Amino acid sequence: MKDMGAPAVMGLAKKSKKKRRREPNPNFGPPLKCANRLKEIMTRHYFLSRYAEGARPVAWVTSGAPVELLRPFDFYTIYPENHGALCGAQRLGPELCSVAEEHGYNQDLCSYARIDLGHFLSGKTPVGRLPRPDILFASNNICQTVAYWYRVLAHQLKIPFLLFDTPYNFEEISANDITYMVSQLEEMIPVLEEVSRKRFNNRRFEEIMLLARDSSFAWGEVLATMKTEPAPMTIFDAFIHLAPIVSLRGLPVTLDYYQTLLNELRQRVDRGIGAIKNERKRLMWDNIAIWYKVRDFSNLFAEQGMNFVTATYTNAWAETISNMDTDKPLESMARTYSLVVLNNNLNHRLGLMERLIKEYRVDGLVIHSAKSCKPYSVGQYDLKRLLMDRLRVPSVVIDADITDFRAYSEEQTRTRLEAFFEGMED
């Protein structure tokens, strides 16, 4: 099925769709050739997932969980947050969120969680179907909501739930914190062996860690190409090309894909090909993408000659990977996953944003205050003020939600952005 069935069905799907001819946008450079390869990889991933039940153990995983621990047991991994982003991009967020709300889940709850619960309750998904999990695997290094969300699913499905609990980094991760996290990872191994019916293979685990590390390094190099003026791609491109490092981390296809993408971007840099044709201003994005507005914002900012060249969100999958090594694998994994931006104090985030602004020569900052993601949105107005005081970087706050466009006001956003555009010209 992997070698013949998936490509055949993908080919038929392409033929069955009417080709919509899009006129090239005069504000953009040539599209990335890698986009077609990315689509093939992610389509294949979701297609094959339909047949994973019974053939392989299945795990539903949060984006911040140490998935490398699952790979030696041959788990087929599904990321509900990635699936939520896909639903958001296809404007299905309110529909699936409403299903969860009808069952008593509040509208203030993370819309990724509401989409996933809505999918669980209704079976609706743009990818056909998702496989039933044998285990749920989460880490609260991104937020506490994932713990409660996955507990609900574990209770309903009557399956094991593993939570990797990462102490919050108020100042510095201590030796006791590392010991605590390592002991959790060690205790998970017998559970994973029981569910998968496979013994833990330490050598295979170390190979996967190196694959994951090299893939994240390659992703970091992809992002670093945007330090060039003009930048060879935009953060809106990066939001899409982020999918493999989130959903397929630790697999060879991810490293192969990012090496191919990196080669294409370096060729564009050598030839002076920019993502937009008139890059006058360089911007930074803070927080998760507004998935249902990615294309609209891409066009709007390109019309103004403004290119987003860095983001705290896309940087998260490259920021801590240097901690991962195979000398002390579980200890290095604990450091890698506990030091991510959302498990860190605001001073760390301020320092990170200052560094990115300087390294990428950023002229302005757009802050997405996401109703769904309180851990990411807390403190943003303080960060905005401090960055203005220290670096004199003009900024604007957009109130929205990552997938639920009922929380988005087009009028209010347009008014704020028009003022921001005017201020950038002063």
**Residue 59's beta-bridge partner residues?**
77, 135
Per DSSP, 344 falls in state B
- Asked whether residue 5 is assigned to any structural domain, the reply reads no
Domain contains 20: no
- Calpha distance 63→61 (Å, rounded): 7
pTM score = 0.93
Question: Is residue 180 included in any domain, yes or no?
Answer: yes
How many domains would you assign to the chain? 1
In a domain, 84, yes or no: yes
> For the packed helices 80-89 and 93-102, what is the interaxial angle rounded to 10 degrees?
120
How is residue 30 written in tokens?
């040539």
pLDDT for 14 beyond 70: no
Least confident piece of the model among 12-21, 149-158, 324-333: 12-21
User: 6 in a domain, yes or no?
Assistant: no
Return d(Cα 390, Cα 392) in angstroms, integer. 6
Eight-class DSSP state of 225: G
pLDDT the model gives residue 6? 44
SS3 9: helix
pLDDT value, residue 20: 57
User: What's the order of all strands across the beta sheet hosting 76-78?
Assistant: 76-78, 58-61, 135-139, 161-164
| Residue 21 or residue 218, greater confidence | 218
Structural domain contains residue 404: yes
- Coil, strand, or helix at residue 399? strand
Give the domain range for residue 239: 25-425
Confidence of residue 21 (pLDDT cuts 50, 70, 90): low
pLDDT tens-place string over residues 47-85: 999 999 889 999 999 999 999 999 999 999 999 999 999
Note whether residue 2 is domain-resident.
Answer: no
β pairing state of 76-78 and 135-139: unpaired
pLDDT tens for each residue of 258-292: 999 999 999 999 999 999 999 999 999 999 999 99
User: What is the rounded CA–CA span in Å between residue 234 and residue 283?
Assistant: 10
Is 12 a domain residue? no
> For residue range 151-176, what is the model confidence (pLDDT) as tens digits?
999 999 999 999 999 999 998 899 99
